[in-house]
């Protein structure tokens, strides 16, 4: 059996589906890994997850047969270096708006001469006994995904994706709409125009993996994005899986219960 890495899938623009982890408990990572996602991103930008928790999550995801990525809090070489040393297979870097920022992200992941990453002997390097193998792995398999979530990134997208070492990009719809002054208004002409610009770039590029984070629990939206040419799809996030299904099922139970015993509604509202 030939094992195809996520890096190779990105290069060939194969469709992969992952999700977002915002809760620092390993059980969450294990449950989502066993669900069959191709990759899982540990969110260190908009969560309370610490570096220690991130390393535990990385271990859990990896041992569960899934690919661990980390969305770092910023395009900071120290932060990127630390999550890579913890064993992440790659990073998703937020707010990449220029060619130089894309180059900085790649440089922070790669060792010299390809980059400027300092050498540490942590989990990724076998705690000091596996550096040479890790160095080869890092050069060939580490993943850099830039996040396009500002209109400046949209305007510079063609240049950004041409940077050597960038494996793909992923659109952050909420922040992108916010950068246009219309946060969450996904039918607003400004947002639609920005997305049209992105889609034109996707159609022109035969090599870059285009990604999109579909946050709502709407599978049809994922299929729509695939039809538009996106292949690196993030589907929702851990907390929303729990909250949405719990809310829907509870409302259904209560609704069915009240239809059978109407007096209970009055009792519960006291």
Catalytic positions are: 46
* Tokens at 264, concatenated: 């209970």
The torsion region of residue 184 among left (phi > 0), alpha (psi -120 to 50) and beta comes to left
Provide the β-strand partners of residue 144: 91
H-type alpha helices, 71-227: 77-85, 99-109, 131-141, 151-155, 157-161, 173-179, 189-204, 219-227
Helix axes 77-85, 99-109, angle to 10 degrees: 40
DSSP class of residue 161 equals H
Helix, strand and coil percent figures for the chain, each rounded to 5: 50, 15, 35
Tell me how far the alpha carbon of residue 164 is from its chain's centroid.
20
For the chain, the distance separating the N- and C-terminal CA atoms, rounded to the nearest angstrom, is: 62
Provide the β-strand partners of residue 21: 42
DSSP class of residue 127 equals G
């Amino acid at each position: 059996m030939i094992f195809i890495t996520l890096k190779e899938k990105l290069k060939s623009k194969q469709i992969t589906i992952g999700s977002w982890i915002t809760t620092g408990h390993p059980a969450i990572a294990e449950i989502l890994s066993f669900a069959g996602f191709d990759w899982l991103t540990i969110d260190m930008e908009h969560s309370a997850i610490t570096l220690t928790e991130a390393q535990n999550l990385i271990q859990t995801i990896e041992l569960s047969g899934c690919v661990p990525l980390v969305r770092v809090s910023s395009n900071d070489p120290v932060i990127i270096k630390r999550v890579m040393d913890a064993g992440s297979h790659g990073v998703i870097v937020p707010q990449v708006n220029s060619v130089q920022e894309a180059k900085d992200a790649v440089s922070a992941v790669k060792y010299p001469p390809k980059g400027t990453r300092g050498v540490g002997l942590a989990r990724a390097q076998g705690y000091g006994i596996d550096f040479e193998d890790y160095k080869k792995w890092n050069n060939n398999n580490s993943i850099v995904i830039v996040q396009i979530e500002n209109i400046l990134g949209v305007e510079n997208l063609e240049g950004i994706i041409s940077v050597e070492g960038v494996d793909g990009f992923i659109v952050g719809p909420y922040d992108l709409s916010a950068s246009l002054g219309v946060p969450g208004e996904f039918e607003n002409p400004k947002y639609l125009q920005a997305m049209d610009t992105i889609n034109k770039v996707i159609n022109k590029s035969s090599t870059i993996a285009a990604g999109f984070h579909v946050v709502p629990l709407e599978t049809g939206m994922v299929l729509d994005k695939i039809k538009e040419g996106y292949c690196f799809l993030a589907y929702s996030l851990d907390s929303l899986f729990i909250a949405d299904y719990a809310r829907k099922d509870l409302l259904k139970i209560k609704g069915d219960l009240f239809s059978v015993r109407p007096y209970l509604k009055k009792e519960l509202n006291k």
